[in-house]
Amino acid sequence: MIEFKNVDFEYDKERKVFDRLSFKIEKGESVGLIGANGAGKSTLMKLMLGLLDFKGEIIIDGLPVNKQNLSLIRKKIGYVLQNSDNQMFMPTVLDDIMFGPLNYGHSREEAEKIADEALLLLNLKDLKMRHNHKLSGGEKKMAAIATIIAMKPNIVLMDEPTSALDPYNRRKVIEIINSLNYTKLIASHDLDMILDTCDKVILLGKEGIAALGNAKDILMQKDLLEANRLELPLRYYYKSKL
């Protein structure tokens, strides 16, 4: 479903981000992408979308990421941005959710039906006619996820989906993430959320992967996390103090 083969990327000659980066994510897997600031989490997602030039090979659902395939690849990927204000730009939630289907050629009637299905799936029907500027941060994040679901992707990318949320909205977003039956790649510093939503973890270190494997196995390794400028998830941190 997602494969990186010996991918090199640098912003300039003095700042190499990835050196021969290789990994594979299978269909239906939920994978956490973790690492310190500057490790390349957001960069990796942009590479998948063809927004940055790279060396090596990236394959999305059987298609190499190149100029010829970009339109097809971008239809396969839904990208939930860290800042929902950059994603929710129409007057109402309904308008935003319909935006993608309308641009895919659906009639307004069909687009509204698709929007209703996305809202029903996420139990967000009460947000349908709400104005975006009146939504809370958590409501806006959940509505942003609905806009992606309406485009019927094969893969969902999420960049810091629980950042700046209060505990109630954080829990609601986690519930929504777990309800999604897609291949998911979730970049976050919220390691407790990663434990709640992901089976597998990719830990990015200097110029590549520091660890890849079972989420619980990796996130219990205090020395490994600290070596990569991360801390234990809170549930493990407090246990280690007992």
Which strands sit side by side in the sheet containing 208-214, from one edge to the other? 77-80, 155-159, 183-187, 30-34, 200-205, 208-214
What's the total number of domains in the chain? 1
Please state, as a whole number, how many other Cβ atoms lie within 10 Å of the Cβ of residue 13. Answer: 6
Predicted confidence at residue 241, as pLDDT, reads 61
Spell out the alpha helix ranges (H) of the chain. Answer: 41-48, 70-76, 93-103, 108-121, 137-149, 167-179, 191-197, 215-219, 222-227, 234-241
- Rounded CA gap, 124 and 193, in Å? 21
Question: Model's pTM, two decimal places?
Answer: 0.93
Question: What is the CB-side half-sphere exposure of residue 238 using CA atoms within 13 A?
Answer: 3
Torsional class of 191: left (φ above 0), alpha (ψ -120 to 50), beta (otherwise): alpha
Contact 200, 32 (CB under 8 A): yes
Predicted confidence at residue 238, as pLDDT, reads 65
CATH number at residue 35: 3.40.50.300
Structural domain harbouring 7: 2-241
Q: Mean pLDDT per segment of 10 residues, for the chain of length 242 residues?
A: 96 87 96 96 96 96 96 95 92 96 95 96 93 92 94 95 91 93 96 96 93 96 95 79 56
